[in-house]
Amino acid sequence: MSVPFSAATAAYGNAAQLVQGGGNVPSQQSTTGGSDFAKILSESVQSVVDTGNRADQVSMDMLNGKASVVDMVTAISETELAVESMVTVRDRVISAYQEILRMPI
């Protein structure tokens, strides 16, 4: 599966904006389970953003001659794995939500 570079950078920017508070996340939750889930989700997104930032820094270090190609490839691979994991979780959550909607009342 190949993802266009522009789509990847847009997703990265959207994730960063969500973590920085630009998303539509309710500030108050009625149950503690909801706030725990929101906290876990926020930490997961922050982890993906941090991994991307680390890969960006290693890429810049390589351009400046301070890092090796192996370091850059490793950092990019870690970022790719983190983004793919986050997309998989998102797909599973959507699938579970759709399954709940199909349940008879």
> Which whole-number Å values give the CA distances from 19 to 61, 69, 82, in the listed order?
25, 30, 15
Tell me which amino acid residue 102 is: R
- Res. 9 pLDDT band, cuts 50 70 90: low
pLDDT of residue 25: 45
Q: How confident is the model over 61-80, as pLDDT tens digits?
A: 999 999 999 999 999 999 99
Looking up tokens 């789509």, which residue turns up?
Answer: 7
Q: How confident is the model over 14-66, as pLDDT tens digits?
A: 666 665 665 554 444 445 556 787 888 889 899 999 999 999 999 999 999 99
70 near 36, Cβ under 8 Å?
A: no
pLDDT of residue 8: 57
Domain ranges of the chain: 31-102
